[in-house]
Structure 1
Amino acid sequence: MKEENIKKAARIALGANLVFAGISHLTFARKAFRAQVPDFVPLKKDDTVVYSGFVEIAMGAALIFTPEKHAEKVGQVAAAFFTAVFPGNIAQLSHRRNAFGLDTDKKRFLRLFFQPVLVYWALKSTSPVKIKNRIK
């Protein structure tokens, strides 16, 4: 089925992006990710970046390797994660923290609109494929 293949490819692409982002949390982009940790988080910024990196790697792997029968639940968890980290994007804007090429208020503001896309991507790519009844 074409729709099923598209959803699977979208789910795997999202998972791969999460694994990459998680690895970047732990390595080359670690400092930049600290700019997104809101001040109200009770942990050290670096610890938050490391822990969220592990979560992103695990979530990405789950999106890639979870059997179809569990994909919808994994997608809901991923969508909840993307919602939970949204305050980091707001903190980056409100505190004018430069990271990831987001070095103007306009760029940081426009970044806010990408988070709902990630939520939608997680939910849509893991939702069950609806089989249409066709009359022949």
Structure 2
Amino acid sequence: MIRLLARFALAAVLLVAGAAHLGPMRRGFRIVVPDWAPRALRTDKDTIVVASGVVELGLGAALIALPRERRRVGIAVAALFVAVFPGNVHQWRTGASAPGLDTDARRLARLFLQPILVVWALWSTARA
């Protein structure tokens, strides 16, 4: 039961974050995208923000709608959290402010939150 609640809470986090990436906070999230990412992906920062928001929405919905695939979805969520970590490091190193991350202490704390998110994704989707 605790894993189920944790999985639904994680889904809520992903759905809220995904919606934020597509809404009025979208511009602020562009700051987090490292300068090398658009070159590597051959696109622009805004497209990366939008794509990550769509992925977050999809994974959040999948955590709820696809219980039989929860392990695979959990691995995908953990992979997303690993994939966006360079953006968190970039933001911390540059001191750039983004929604909710407007101090050095918050940006540093965000770095330590990322492994917790990875563990949360894997644990909450593991078979009991």
State if a TM-score over 0.5 links the two structures: yes
Answering whether residue 76 of structure 2 is matched by residue 80 of structure 1, we say: no
Which residue of 2 is the match for residue 29 of structure 1?
25
Structure 1 length as normaliser, TM-score?
0.86
CA distance in 1, matches of 2:58, 2:103: 32
AA aligned to 2:84 is V
Contact 1:92 1:98 in 2 (8 A): yes
Once the two structures are superposed, what CA deviation does each residue of 1:10-49 show, in whole Å capped at 9, x if it has no partner? 1011111101111110102101111111111122111111
- Quote the sequence identity (%): 51
CA distance in 1, matches of 2:84, 2:9: 20
Q: Secondary structure at the match of 1:53?
A: helix
CA distance in 2, matches of 1:22, 1:53: 4
* 1:35-114 to 2 correspondences below 5 Å: 35-42=31-38, 43-67=43-67, 69-114=68-113
- Aligned-residue Cα RMSD (Å) equals 1.1
Alignment counterpart, residue 4 of structure 2, candidates 1, 8, 15 = 8
- Structure 1: which 4+ aligned runs deviate by more than 4 Å? none
CA distance in 2, matches of 1:56, 1:123: 16
Contact 1:26 1:53 in 2 (8 A): yes
Number of residue-to-residue matches in the alignment:
124
Structure 2 spans left out of the alignment, 5+ residues: none
Q: Secondary structure at the match of 1:13?
A: helix
- The answer to which structure has the higher helix fraction is 2
Structure 1 spans left out of the alignment, 5+ residues: 130-136
Q: Over alpha carbons, which structure has the higher Rg?
A: 1
